Amino acid sequence: MGVVAMKTLKGAKHRGLADFRDHADSYTQAAFKWVLSNPKVSCVVVSFFELQHVDEYLYASGRAAGAKDVAILDEYDRQILGSYCGPHCGECLGHCPEALPIHDVLRQRMYFEDYGWEKEAMRLYGALAKNAAVCATCPAPCLRSCPVGVPIQERMIGAHELLTLA
């Protein structure tokens, strides 16, 4: 039996961070080294879009994370602060008076912005029973519920704008 780690790149936002482009390849390698340094983790599962990613990702295999890697991870965390909704948290869900699937909407926004899966993100968003249009007029009791400080209302309104054909 083994443990497979998913979501090891925190949304792969490093591809869209202008100030982080010099560290994009090393960020991926640092993240994989950090995850794989846990002896209980057998492997990571990750999407890749270019053949060069195979070499980039394999480079991290079997290598320990060092101080430089940790510094890169810390800088990435600083730059994405407030924009990454961690999987399986759900702290905000009970605070939405509309019972919106906030985590799903923010994941679909991530697919659109960070993965480049615009059509799929829009398709998934369009399939929801309710959408985030209601967030524009909501008193936002969800705001203080996020343990990592995601400005939920702002991100939801932005998601609606991105994911809706208007």
Please write the tens of the pLDDT for every residue from 111-139.
998 888 999 999 999 999 999 999 999 99
pLDDT reported for residue 129: 93
With beta carbons less than 8 A apart as the criterion, state whether 163 and 127 touch.
Answer: no
Distance CA 58, CA 28 (A): 10
The CA distances from residue 158 to 81, 152, 166, in Å, are: 17, 10, 13
Distance CA 102, CA 96 (A): 8
Nearest to 157 by CA among 126, 131, 128, 135: 135
**Please, what is the average pLDDT of the chain?**
88
Question: Residue 66 has which token pair?
Answer: 């060092």
Amino acid (1-letter code) at residue 115: Y
Percent of the chain with pLDDT strictly greater than 70: 93
| pTM of structure | 0.80
